[in-house]
Amino acid sequence: MIRFARTCAGRPSPDAELSMVTAEPGSTALSTARSTPSSRPLVAMDAVSKVFSNGTLALSGMSMTVRPGEFISLLGPSGCGKSTALRIIAGLGGISEGSIDWPSFRINARGLPDGDISFVFQEPTLMPWQTVFGNVYLPLRLKGLSKKAAADKIYAALESVGLEDFADAYPRELSGGMKMRVSIARALVTEPKLLLMDEPFAALDEITRQKLNDDVLALWKATGITVIFVTHSVYESAYLANRIVVMKARPGRVHADFPLHTSLERDVRYRTSEEYRQACADVSAKLSEAMGGEEH
Ligand SMILES: Nc1ncnc2c1ncn2[C@@H]1O[C@H](COP(=O)(O)OP(=O)(O)OP(=O)(O)O)[C@@H](O)[C@H]1O
Ligand SMILES: [Mg+2]
């Protein structure tokens, strides 16, 4: 059960991304729900192409603007460049042509966003030799915070994902869903403005996945954080997002980009509503187009 009486910020782990961890040493992690009053985009990708060193053209002419407070689901066939696009948005991968700008972020000397962006991957990527506390501490340790100074932030992050009683547990003692919650807590502990999630729940059973979907939605509502959520699931995307971006492959680019509004709360009633059925049908139709009529 995720609770958001107190919210926190953070970011994830993997090595390449660790340089992006941001947290103001000494600042409090226990902020109240954040609003996003600025209408300046968070990210503006314009006609971006990406050619890897082996010659693979992963993206071509990809344009996408991310605005504060959005919950974007990014869908598309395998290999269409979703992860590549997410890494570029995170400032982790260079581009070959076009431009990318982060108008709402602090920019470092390399012209990249200086923190405030967190990544959650499909695998929780926890350090098995560290406790839950130690895993969530990692991004703050990399920012130079002592354990003592970081403790309040860490407990707030754990509380936000319902794991406050598991701070001393090791990853091997947790279920798959709990490990993913730790990964989310680690992503939140530095209070990012933008949360990038790359198929985070794909390996989980359906019930756990639905629960975590509800938890991420609650987090999004409580904090005002902006989310880009990559998924292969039409149902998951239609449940979560208020904007759908469907990509096409070879080369990767945007095929369809449309809002998903509903008058209903996204809860168990929404799952059985006509609006949700229609949203799934709309997303599915665009995905089929993007896949050239292939089954998905
Ligand atoms: N480091 C790399 N070097 C060379 N080619 C790469 C690299 N990373 C990805 N690619 C290629 O770029 C294309 C896009 O890959 P990417 O992983 O972004 O796709 P994806 O949409 O995330 O796929 P999936 O849904 O399977 O995760 C693919 O053709 C892939 O083989
Ligand atoms: Mg991928």
Pocket test for ligand 1, best of 51, 80, 234 (most atoms within 8 A of CB): 80
Dist. CA 284–CA 191, nearest whole Å: 34
- Give pLDDT tens digits for 54-105: 999 999 999 999 999 999 999 999 999 999 999 999 999 899 999 999 999 9
Share of the chain above pLDDT 90, in %: 70
What's the token pair of residue 4?
Answer: 């958001």
Atom of ligand 1 nearest to the CA of 76: 21
pTM: 0.86
Q: What is the CATH number of domain 30-116+192-296?
A: 3.40.50.300
List, in sequence order, every beta strand (DSSP E) within the chain: 43-51, 57-66, 71-75, 97-101, 117-120, 194-198, 226-230, 243-248, 253-259
Contact 58, 179 (CB under 8 A): no
Dist. CA 177–CA 200, nearest whole Å: 10
For atom 4 of ligand 1, the residue with the nearest CA is: 52
| Mean pLDDT over the full length of the chain | 85
Domain ranges of the chain: 30-116+192-296, 128-190
- Give pLDDT tens digits for 252-268: 999 999 999 888 888 88
Mean pLDDT, to the nearest integer, of 115-124? Answer: 90
Q: What is the pLDDT of residue 293?
A: 58
Question: How is residue 18 annotated by DSSP?
Answer: G
